[in-house]
Amino acid sequence: MSPFLSKCLSLTGMQTRRRYCLTQSKSQPWKILFLGTDDFSLPHLQAVHNRYERFDVTYILIIEALTFSCAVGKYAMQAGIQGHVWPYVPQPGAFDVGVVASFGHLLPAELINAFPHGILNVHPSLLPKFRGSAPINHTILSGDSVTGVSIMQIAAHRFDVGPLLLQEKCNIEEGISATELRSQLSSLGSKMLLHALSDLHNLEKEAKVQSEVGVSKAPKIKLKHARVNWERQTPRDIDRQYRAVGTVHTLQSEWQGQVVKMDDMVPLKEFQPIEKGLPSNDVPCGTPLFHIASESLCIKCRDGWVAFRQIVFKKQMSAKDFSNGYISSDRNHGETFQSHENGLRNYFENNTIAEREC
């Protein structure tokens, strides 16, 4: 580990978490504190670093990671950014402005008040829609066709409720995954961040209070959200679930009382020709059939079928191997995948429940 990195260890259950705060000091005209954690954060740090490096700006990076091998940490080390311990509160006036991109911590008022221009937060949704830690995942679960990035000033003690400085929309490509949309929005957010920093004085004067109309939440994606309810979810529901949740937790069901995971889902457009040769609604939901031509495991759900090419049942295997080992034999005739509640009812097609269960 680099000699200029200082760290603190905190124990969460049985897992040791390492927290880092990194800094590189040069002469200022413009001093920025950057707080970030992941692959959404990295392009924003790179954009700020590349834009202002030639002006000898002071940089501070605070990251939290399970290991220092994350993308943000690697970039910081390569850039020669020195380490400090988090939690970190600078002396008042030591920095001009803070920047947060996917940090995941509620920042104390003491930290926010240490900056003359406050702390800017780059949030990948059109606030006030999808306040919370997983806006991209919930955007895909909702089946939205438009999303965007908001840059706001952080308010103390609450997430994603401060005044808006900038907001830009972008279209969502059909069939896009949460990972792909994250990359698209991080690119947009990086450009918006540079704009915000270059025109901060004017944007502060024009900042708009967030509307209380259209407020929704985007809580963290949990393991339960990966469970499939074959009786209640349509192919479109499961497709959105796979693209939104499957990037965090592999979709799962239950087979013969044991957890089974389904991966490498056949896109709905590719699956349409396959589905024409399958039984209609005269088989129970959760019924599996192996499709030879596509080498995929087709599973009956509400109003149709979905298909997966990879299965994890005791070990990872192809759909063909799972079919040969667990479906083809007479003793498993009539066996179905079992449904489970997953807390996503409000995202199901034709659902009338108004309140999210997440």
CATH classification at residue 305:
3.10.25.10
Domain boundary residue, one of 163, 178, 205:
205
Q: Looking at residue 158, what is its pLDDT?
A: 79
* Cβ-Cβ contacts under 8 Å for 68 (sequence gap 6 or more): 1, 5, 7, 18, 20, 77
Residues 195 and 253 placed together within one structural domain of the fold: no
Q: Looking at residue 53, what is its pLDDT?
A: 66
Residues 244 and 325 placed together within one structural domain of the fold: yes
Question: Residue 255 in 3-state DSSP?
Answer: strand
Q: Looking at residue 69, what is its pLDDT?
A: 53
58 in a structural domain: yes
Residues 157 and 260 placed together within one structural domain of the fold: no
Residues 248 and 159 placed together within one structural domain of the fold: no
The C-alpha angle 278, 282, 287, rounded to 5 degrees, equals 65
| E-only strand ranges, 129-226 | 146-153, 164-171
Per-residue pLDDT of the chain (358 residues; tens, 9 = 90+): 332 222 222 222 223 333 444 444 443 457 888 888 788 999 998 898 888 765 434 444 554 433 345 667 677 778 776 555 567 888 888 888 999 998 878 888 999 999 999 999 999 999 999 999 999 999 999 999 999 999 999 987 778 899 999 999 999 999 999 999 999 999 999 999 999 999 999 999 999 999 999 999 999 999 999 999 999 999 999 999 999 999 999 999 999 999 999 999 999 999 988 888 888 778 999 999 999 999 999 999 999 999 999 999 999 999 999 999 998 765 667 899 999 999 999 998 765 433 333 3
pTM of the model: 0.85
358 in a structural domain: no
Residues 260 and 181 placed together within one structural domain of the fold: no
81 in a structural domain: yes
Q: Looking at residue 310, what is its pLDDT?
A: 98
Residues 34 and 82 placed together within one structural domain of the fold: yes
Contact yes or no for 245/145 (Cβ under 8 A): no
- Count of structural domains within the chain: 2
Q: Looking at residue 90, what is its pLDDT?
A: 84
Q: Looking at residue 54, what is its pLDDT?
A: 52
Helix/strand/coil percentages in the chain, nearest 5 = 30, 30, 45
Residues 16 and 83 placed together within one structural domain of the fold: yes
Residue carrying the six token digits 């400085």: 165
246 in a structural domain: yes
352 in a structural domain: no
Residues 200 and 236 placed together within one structural domain of the fold: no
230 in a structural domain: yes
Residues 44 and 142 placed together within one structural domain of the fold: yes
Residues 185 and 261 placed together within one structural domain of the fold: no
Q: Looking at residue 350, what is its pLDDT?
A: 61
Residues 112 and 138 placed together within one structural domain of the fold: yes
Domain boundary residue, one of 205, 231, 248:
205
Residue 276 domain boundaries: 223-347
* CATH of residue 125: 3.40.50.170
Residues 23 and 95 placed together within one structural domain of the fold: yes
CA 172/CA 154 separation, integer angstroms: 27
218 in a structural domain: no
CA 218/CA 134 separation, integer angstroms: 5
Domain boundary residue, one of 170, 205, 240:
205
How far is residue 49 from each of residues 20, 22, 165, 220, measured CA to CA in Å?
18, 13, 21, 29
Q: Looking at residue 85, what is its pLDDT?
A: 56
50 in a structural domain: yes
